[in-house]
Amino acid sequence: MALILDTGVVLAAINRGDPHHRACADLLTHVTESLILPAAVLSEVDYWIRKRMSVDNWRTLVEDIHAGAYVLEHTTEDDLLRTAELQEQYEDLDLGFVDAAVIALCERLGEPKVATVDRRHFSIVTPRHVRSLELLPVI
């Protein structure tokens, strides 16, 4: 089993000023499973780090990925197709590419949970493999 990470959890774990920092940092520090970082998440993480934090935070994250703290998982062609299906299915929700890609990855890997602070999208979307995703951390 592994834990798939969404953008907000990564950002909150890095940013001590984030209201979810403690919960997210504790989750990423104490989980015994592999931490899966979808490649699609990196664009958002980079954007928000550059907008709200220091580029040093980005460098530290990249070094952590390189050192094996996270498993970088790329979006496959099948994931991309599923992402578009989810975006169409949940058009009224305005489901973005990154969130849909995270859900598609959960489906492909058969993971029943996701680390996210985004309760709006992830609590509504119904993945193919489970009735609903378990959302961590509990906030």
Could you report the per-residue pLDDT of 42-79, keeping only the tens digit for each? Answer: 999 999 999 999 999 999 999 999 999 999 999 999 99
- 0.85 cut: is pTM over it? yes
Whole-number pLDDT of residue 84 = 98
Contact call for residues 109 and 81 (beta carbons, < 8 A): no
* CATH number of the structural domain spanning residue 49: 3.40.50.1010
- Nearest alpha-carbon partner for 1 in 124, 93, 134, 139: 134
Give every CB contact of residue 32 below 8 A, 6+ residues apart in sequence: none
Domain extent, residue 43, equals 2-136
Predicted confidence band at 118 (pLDDT cuts at 50, 70, 90)?
A: very high
First to last CA, the chain: 22
Q: Is pLDDT above 90 for 139?
A: no
Please count the structural domains in the chain.
1
